[in-house]
Amino acid sequence: MNFKYVMMACALTLGFASCSNDDEVDNGGIIPNGEPTVARIRLSQSGPDTRATKPTEGNEGKIKNAIIYIFDATAKFEKAVPLTKTEMDNGELVTITTGSHYFYAAVNPDGLTLPTIDEGTSLEEAKKKVLSSLTMAKLTNPAGFFMTNVSDALAKNIVVSEDGSENDIKIEVGRAVAKVNVDLAAGITVTDGTFTDMKYRIGGNPKQMHLFPVYDGGILNTPLRDVAYTDGNYMFSNDSENYIDGATATYATENSAPNTALQGKATHAWVKGVYTPKDMTLVDGNFWRVYDKSEKAWKAGIYASEDDAVNIGNGGSREGVVKYAGGTCYYAFWITDENAAEKYTVSRNNYYDIKIQSVAKIGTNTEEGDKDIDGDPITDPVNPPVKPTDPIEESTKMKVSINVLPWNLVETGVGL
């Protein structure tokens, strides 16, 4: 049999992927579906998207290799075509059939265990295949970030062409993680003091994600969305509990939580910084407060010494006297996207630029919640900034603004 040759240029573009399946794929009855032919697949990065975007940095845009997943006119899986960087640059001939096709791309999958997709698997089933045991190091490999389509599969009708001019295929991809940056807003408002030396970390990152994005009725569907909370299913943004400096970006995994979600299931930021009460002379930044357990409220007054807090502020008792060593306080807030169908949504390839706009109250003196000078919790139950199995409550301590655009950049502001 003599094969016709189809030159198919497949450009892999970093940016925001439009919903490619909005237009029905139709071969017009000119070329029968299923005729064998040959396609030349090329992957390359095109110019920037016309939307407001955040430029890639370092290895965020590097492409090392890719796997192209090809589905037929009935949206059944045909084959996966692995491509090296050289093959992408030079173009690689692969066998394919004429007619309607759908294309997904997984870029830089090294270090990940990609799920197996059997021939004949439906597109809907294939995109719901789960990547598990994820770490941020695997997803943000210095050799190249893991990338995929960031919306639907690309739909394209393949026809016979001597030079490939009728089969120009461009698969738009983006990073399979979100990028997050938390910083203090210019002109931040701090009630009765100052807030400096801010550091943060991102929690609530699922260790599982679908191979490709899955949307049900416009709502992002993620593997752990309807699964009971278990601490071992989530990770911090840098695979450790270390805080990073404000204005230093980190990454988050795709996540979707209902608006009534538990605190641990929604992506959140832990924040610590130095609170300095106004008009006080402190030694090494230390200050003390007193919590009245019977009234379940803080007593008025901030003290520059433990003796004053115990004797003047608490009638000689050490119970409920809380020290803020170096002025360090802890807070938390939840990352939201007000433009998403549900606000506790973190989408792959979005950039969440978060500004802390105000600090209204003093935070806790430890990550586990407020403890007195003898190490005992001052409240029952304890009051850590994040209570994973409690419903989300809007923070009254910190005000945050968030802006989301395609990296895609999402800017937000928060108040503590």
Residue-range domain boundaries for the chain: 4-175, 178-279+326-415
| The pLDDT value given to residue 12 | 53
| The pLDDT value given to residue 31 | 53
Given its phi and psi angles, is residue 150 left (phi above 0), alpha (psi -120 to 50 degrees) or beta?
alpha
Nearest to 47 by CA among 13, 11, 10: 13
CA 406/CA 347 separation, integer angstroms: 10
Question: Tokens 């407020």 sit at which residue?
Answer: 370
Question: Tokens 């230093």 sit at which residue?
Answer: 248
In this prediction the pTM is: 0.88
The partner residues of 37 in beta bridges, in order of sequence, read: 4, 96
Is residue 143 within 8 A of residue 209, CB to CB? The reply is no
- Domain covering 4-175: architecture: Sandwich (2.60)
| The pLDDT value given to residue 320 | 97
Which 3 state secondary structure label does DSSP give 88? helix
Q: Name the CATH code of domain 178-279+326-415 (choices 3.40.640.10, 3.40.50.2300, 1.20.1250.20, 2.60.40.3690).
A: 2.60.40.3690
Q: Distances in Å between the alpha carbon of 174 and those of 127, 218, 245, 336?
A: 16, 19, 26, 20
For every residue of 339-366, DSSP letters joined together read: TSSSSSEE-TTEEEEEEEEEE-S--BSS
CA 165/CA 243 separation, integer angstroms: 52
pLDDT mean values, one per 10 residues, the chain (416 residues): 38 46 45 65 46 71 91 95 82 78 94 96 98 95 92 88 69 91 95 97 97 96 95 87 92 94 95 97 98 95 98 97 98 94 95 95 96 96 93 79 61 48
Is residue 392 within 8 A of residue 266, CB to CB? The reply is yes
Which 3 state secondary structure label does DSSP give 400? strand
Peptide bond into 82 cis (omega under 30): no
Is residue 410 within 8 A of residue 404, CB to CB? The reply is yes
| The pLDDT value given to residue 19 | 39
| The pLDDT value given to residue 362 | 97
Q: Distances in Å between the alpha carbon of 339 and those of 179, 212, 344, 347, 405?
A: 17, 21, 10, 11, 10
| The pLDDT value given to residue 46 | 35
